[in-house]
């Protein structure tokens, strides 16, 4: 049997020790017949959590074959999440960020087996996901991305993530010297900061691309992602009207030149895989091969945990039924 834990071993061990402590505290007698009255529900809850922790270890047996991707490289996705990425001018009336989400996952599929990192920037830059081979984590991180609420927007630089990206690239090189790194920058090039954009450092960048979103005609932007949100208003004129954001391809091409990668205007009509051949250095090999398969057993533990946990709502339902007063019979 082998294990492929979804969480670090120390974290799982800490959770297990915490569970033991809470269970002991719950079962400790603090009154007459209290321990006898509460040991069963507490034991069932604890057993369910133990099973979930064991499921997190992802036990399994070797068997069969599986098609695996190989890509010996680090991939950094740098995504603009400023308010302008909510502009509705991508592939019709979709938001620009929706196009980024689609393209990033397409690239991740093409580069299966690589390590991925996600950096976002608006008023500030943030590492949303450190380097990992977990494509599911990347999918989750991308699915939850939202443009910055216009109420909190304080202006953003198109190279607001330059310093953070440089630090992450240097850290990756120190950990794995010589391992190629690809950078995919996705944004609309609209610079709303009062300061000039800082240059992007391409010192440790082996390839990638700058992906541009938006149109010259521009698009309106919702203030937030809530259903009743209105559009951002331009109040710089005497008659306020809906603000319009337009792509700045000049800024995007400048960033591409600084990173020494190609620029591609993304409109939703061409697959991201078309430009991947240009973005990938010749020294990087990506392919698929048949490798040893694995029979996963975690789902059995998760199912057992569910069966134990379902006792809890049933117990509360039974207790509530017992508290209901008996209905009096109506006179005939």
CA distances from 107 to 114, 183, 213 (A): 11, 11, 16
Q: Which of 18-32, 104-118, 132-146 has the lowest mean pLDDT?
A: 18-32
Q: pLDDT, tens digit, for every residue of 170-187?
A: 999 998 888 899 999 999
Instruction: State the pLDDT confidence band at 71, using cuts at 50, 70 and 90.
Output: low
Could you report how far apart the first and last alpha carbons of the chain are, in Å? 70
Radius of gyration of the chain (CA): 27
Task: Please state the pTM of the whole predicted model.
Answer: 0.65
Alpha carbons within 13 angstroms on the beta-carbon side of residue 162 total 17
CA atoms within 13 A on the CB side of 196: 2
Q: pLDDT, tens digit, for every residue of 284-301?
A: 544 444 545 567 888 888
CA atoms within a 13 Å half-sphere pointing along the CA-CB vector of 108: 24
pLDDT at 26 over 90: no
Looking at the chain, the whole-number percentage of residues with pLDDT higher than 90 is: 44
Output the pLDDT for position 331: 55
> For residue range 114-136, what is the model confidence (pLDDT) as tens digits?
999 999 999 999 999 999 999 99
pLDDT tens track for 252-268? 999 999 999 999 999 98
């Amino acid at each position: 049997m082998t294990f492929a834990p979804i969480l670090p071993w120390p974290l799982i061990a800490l959770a297990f020790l915490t569970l033991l402590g809470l269970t002991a505290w719950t079962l400790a007698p603090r009154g007459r017949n209290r321990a006898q009255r509460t040991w069963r529900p507490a034991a069932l809850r604890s057993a369910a959590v133990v099973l979930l922790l064991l499921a997190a270890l992802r036990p399994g047996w070797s068997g069969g074959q599986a098609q695996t991707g190989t890509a010996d490289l680090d991939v950094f996705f740098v995504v603009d999440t400023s308010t302008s990425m909510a502009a509705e001018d991508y592939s019709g009336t979709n938001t620009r960020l929706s196009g980024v989400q689609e393209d990033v996952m397409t690239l991740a599929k093409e580069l299966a087996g690589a390590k991925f990192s996600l950096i976002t920037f608006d008023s500030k830059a943030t590492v949303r996901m450190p380097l990992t081979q977990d494509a599911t984590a990347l999918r989750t991180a991308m699915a939850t991305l939202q443009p910055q609420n216009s109420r909190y927007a304080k202006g953003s630089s198109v190279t607001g993530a330059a310093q953070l990206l440089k630090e992450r690239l240097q850290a990756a090189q120190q950990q794995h010297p010589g391992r190629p790194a690809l950078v995919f920058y996705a944004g609309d090039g609209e610079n709303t900061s009062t300061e000039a954009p800082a240059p992007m450092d391409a010192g440790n960048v082996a390839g990638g691309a700058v992906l541009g979103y938006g149109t010259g005609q521009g698009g309106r932007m919702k203030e937030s992602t809530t259903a009743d949100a209105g559009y951002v208003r331009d109040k710089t004129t005497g008659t306020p009207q809906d603000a319009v954001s337009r792509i700045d391809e000049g800024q995007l091409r400048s960033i591409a030149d600084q990173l020494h990668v190609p620029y591609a205007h993304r409109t939703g009509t061409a697959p991201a895989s078309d430009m991947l051949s240009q973005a990938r250095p010749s020294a990087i090999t990506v392919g698929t091969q048949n490798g040893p398969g694995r029979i996963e057993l975690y789902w059995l533990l998760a199912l057992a945990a569910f069966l134990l946990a379902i006792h809890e709502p049933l117990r509360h339902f039974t207790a509530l039924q017992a508290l209901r007063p008996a209905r009096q019979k109506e006179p005939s």
